[in-house]
Structure 1
Amino acid sequence: MEPVADLSLYVRLISGMILGLAVGKLLSGLAKFVQHPQEYRMNIVHALWIFFLFGAISVFWWEEAQTFGKVQWSYPLYLYQILYCSSYLFMTAVLLPDEIKSNDGAENHYEYFVARRYWFYGALLISHSLDMANLVIKEGFAELPMTPMFFGINGLIFVLLALGITVPKRWAQISVAAIFALLTIFSMVLE
């Protein structure tokens, strides 16, 4: 079997389709709050997470555009890329479900989110871990910024994820979402 002329283009297309689905799900989920304001009430937690996911996807895709050519693509890396992109789609689907009425008594998006926060934060943990590995794959281990700021931000992220998973209180959920939104703004500015 002959190798494909531009394998990185193929991987970009597949990645773009998955991320496009995630952005589409974000926008259609956001539109439900406008289309059906009585049934779907926007809350600050969802607004912050929607902003975070949209920003994180845009920053991720921007960084990928700059580093795709540096990778010698193989089937395991291709599967890795699909998994990484799929983590964004999964988080979006958990955050903005098609239906919020469920057997656990959730009556609104916030209650639904808190009841399923383990899934969302677990996917975010996986996505962040994949992001750190992605940096090594695309840039090389020697390019990792082993600085106090790097360790501080990553330590903060893991503490926030643990807080979000373990503390269902509204203040904790708002705080975690707000800090992640701020981190996204910070990463957008750095790009």
Structure 2
Amino acid sequence: MSKFEYLSVLTSIIIGLAIANLLSGAARLIQLRHRVRPHATTFCWMAMLFLANMQIWWVAFERRDSAAFSFFAFLLYLAMPIGVFLASYLVLPDLGDEDQADLAANFDGNRPWFFGLLGSVPVVSLLEEGLRDGYLPHDTDAAFRLFFAGFCVVAACIRSPRFQFWNALLALACFVAYVGVLFLQLR
């Protein structure tokens, strides 16, 4: 077993837990459709977080040829799937059978934490890449990550449901374009 294979197991577990949470949450929303009022903002973020989890897992393959792994560099790398896992958990309320879940209130209540965690992921990815490569990237990819992090800071501060809906829709569209441009082929 290579170092990459060994370390990728933990990364895959964290990503798998995040995806399982999103998918089981989606299934529970279908089951509870008569008691849970739909919230488009939450649905957009669920889709975006699913893609983000998949993208982190997909990009992890680029590290397969890396010969040097240090404990702290790996911790920094793990901060990305951990951040997306936590955001994936916060995007949905507990969907138990007893009461009605309020998706909008859950999103608004978790908004600062949600965007704080989500905005930290691209910053951590830039730092991890800089530590791994010995320099900070300064290309279009890095610009997108910094823009996304900045936009998360703004979104954390704005309560407007209308803003949050358009923000979620724009983030989803931009992330789909980002993945489409940079990550369609496994490198």
Q: Tell me which interval the TM-score lies in, with the shorter structure as reference length.
A: 0.7 to 0.9
For 2:5, the equivalent position in structure 1 comes to 9
Does residue 170 of the first structure (1) align with residue 161 of the second (2)? yes
SS in 2 for 1:116: helix
- The change in CA–CA distance for 1:71 and 1:26 in structure 2 (over 3 A counts) is farther
Letter in 1 for 2:73: L
Letter in 2 for 1:129: V
Range 110-119 or range 159-168, more displaced:
159-168
Aligned-residue CA RMSD (Å): 2.2
Shift, 1:154, TM fit: 4.0
Which of 36, 60, 64 lines up with 2:32 in the alignment?
Answer: 36
Normalised TM-score (structure 2)? 0.85
Residue correspondence of structure 1 range 90-129 to structure 2 within 5 A: 90-99=86-95, 108-129=102-123
Q: Which runs of 4+ in 1 moved over 6 A?
A: none
Consecutive unaligned residues of structure 1, counting only runs of 5 or more, are 101-105
For 1:85, the equivalent position in structure 2 comes to 81
Range 112-121 or range 162-171, more displaced:
162-171
Which whole-Å CA distance do the structure 2 matches of 1:73 and 1:152 have between them?
26
Shift, 1:136, TM fit: 2.3
Consecutive unaligned residues of structure 2, counting only runs of 5 or more, are none
The Cα offsets for residues 27-86 of structure 1, whole Å up to 9 and x where unpaired, read as: 001111101112223311011101111111111211111223225111112222332221
Letter in 2 for 1:172: F
Q: How many pairs align?
A: 179
For 1:103, the equivalent position in structure 2 comes to none
Residue correspondence of structure 1 range 9-88 to structure 2 within 5 A: 9-70=5-66, 72-88=68-84
Which whole-Å CA distance do the structure 2 matches of 1:139 and 1:41 have between them?
47
For 1:157, the equivalent position in structure 2 comes to 148
Give the % identical residues: 18
